[in-house]
Chain A
Amino acid sequence: MVCAIGFEGSANKIGIGIIRDGQVLANVRKTYITPPGEGFLPKETAKHHREVVIGLVKEALEVAKISSNEIDVVCYTKGPGMAPPLLVCAIVARTVSLLWKKPLIGVNHCIGHIEMGRFITNAKNPTILYVSGGNTQVIAYSNKRYRIFGETIDIAIGNCLDRFARIIKLSNDPSPGYNIEQMAKKGTKFVSLPYVVKGMDVSFSGILSHIEQIADPSKQKQKKKKTEEPEEEYSHADLCFSLQETIFAMLVEITERAMAHCESQEVLICGGVGCNKRLQEMMEIMCKERGGHLFATDERYCIDNGLMIAHTGAEMFKSGTRMDYEDSTVTQRFRTDEVLVTWRDD
């Protein structure tokens, strides 16, 4: 029996989870929310995390109704992510590991998302679409590693959505992506945007600058004016709708291409953008058309959380992974395919 506590703080969420033998005991989280039009910066985000982390540790233990000596292993996010907020969690994890005299394990954030998704949905060997503020990857497992079949060649999908939300000054509460999703429901007109798929890779930066010019004509590099007919007007809702329809279609397409290439019938969506209902719906339709099956989770497990780190750390611990105290560093870059998956036998 392994009881693990996990600390996650690679971006603007800080979360702590406790899991014991596949039983969820606690999963608490706080989000650093910035004013509309502003993104979160590393220094301020770390300050937020520092202010709330101790309260969260206490809360997690209370919710779990356990004392610290029942914990077997302390897990934290080693990377990838922003260094200052990552450090906050690493320092607290090191401290409690010494205080409680428990071993310490650093976990890859992306692997955390994948393992959490498999754990919650019981998906066995799915093709994985991992979509968040910093990542866009199509992943499949083979030969002890999660291999990246497709990914963005420039910015991440969540970053594209967040930046568009900033352009049209949408609220960051609870998250910019959620507010785009709600607004898109009111959209009626479809604006044609660039659609950029290269094999199993995608690109979003061109789409973002294109839609930025429609949303804010002052950004247009002079030109135009020549046409007599007035340009069609699009509301913010129309733009949210068109942006979602376009970039989600790209994601579904590359996922389908990876499924065909790997001869897989299952899809798992994970990462913060993964709780978008429209994305899930589109993926579901694609899966049905090929006789496949979709696995998805809700915001408790999709969005960054401490439980995914606790669960993955516990799996690593059970399969014999150990970490020396000297190695308990953080890293901003940490690719999904760098990790040797010791806990899977297939």
Chain B
Amino acid sequence: MKADILKQGAEGRLYIGESNGVSCLVKERFVKSYRHPVLDNQITRQRMKAETKASERCLKAGILAPKVLHMDLKERKIYMEYFDKAITVKEFVNKGISKDPKVINELFEKIGTIIGTMHSKNIIHGDLTTSNILMNPKTEDFSEYDVIMIDFGLSHYEEGAEDKGVDLYVLERALLSTHSELPELFEIILKSYKKVNSKEETTVIAKFEEVRARGRKRTMIG
């Protein structure tokens, strides 16, 4: 059975499949023939394991993420829970599904709380963008919804502040480039982040500022 491809993301192809009779999402990390086979194998295995582990860790910490049903390293496939009504935060914002500043504010506060919780449990996402955060509607008009984190391929477990700072830096840059018309989003996230991750908030923010300064100081000689 060759299913229709839902999407070709950066990491692989997504389509609807089956695991033990349950319909689910299949993420297949096909061989990327542009990279050396040794490197390709190494990266693929590492990312699949990271994805599975991080999703488990998140669920344990009460953060919503797709449950991994089955991982097949040989076939390069991960079978996971599928949220058929969910859309990405990027779509929600850019398609203007709600332009109400209160709704946007609340959404990004929630995101900040989730990232803060992840970091307090030492889960580094590695690729925080609004394409990697889903909104799963509980009501048709999105007046109630769940926030779900996805795409943990670049994630890892790390206690140190540096990686958490970089995680925030990656997110800030993604927000600035993707949602340039809403420059306040990152500040909203940071505010609720600090509340949840208050234990190490100052060291992480200091690291974040340091990474950011490195970026700005770079001379960029052509």
Contact = CB atoms under 8 A, between A and B. Distances in A.
Contacts of B211: 153
B34 A285 contact: yes
A290 B216 CA distance: 33
Given A153-B211, A199-B127, A192 B42 contact: yes
B178 A245 contact: no
Interface stretch (A52-60, A92-100, A139-147, A164-172): A139-147
Interface stretch (B19-27, B74-82, B169-177): B169-177
B219 interface: yes
Interface residues of A, number: 57
Nearest to A241: B36
Nearest to A304: B222
B36 A249 contact: yes
A147 B221 contact: no
A261 B127 CA distance: 11
Counting chain B CB atoms within 10 Å of each CB, which of A113, A132, A154, A257 scores highest?
A: A257
Give the size category of B's interface with A: 35 or more
Interface string B57-74: 000000000000000000
Contacts of A261: 10, 90, 129, 131, 174, 178
Contacts of A256: 10
B33 interface: yes
B137 interface: no
Nearest to A133: B221
27 contacts: A80-B222, A81-B221, A82-B221, A133-B221, A134-B219, A135-B222, A142-B177, A148-B177, A149-B174, A153-B166, A153-B169, A153-B214, A153-B215, A190-B39, A192-B38, A192-B42, A198-B127, A200-B129, A201-B169, A246-B39, A249-B36, A257-B10, A261-B131, A261-B174, A283-B34, A286-B34, A332-B219
Interface of B: 8-10, 30, 32-36, 38-39, 42-43, 90, 126-129, 131, 154, 166-167, 169-171, 173-174, 176-178, 180-181, 211, 214-216, 218-222
Given A199-B154, A282-B35, 12 more contacts: A77-B222, A81-B220, A81-B221, A82-B221, A113-B222, A135-B220, A147-B177, A153-B214, A153-B215, A200-B174, A260-B10, A260-B131
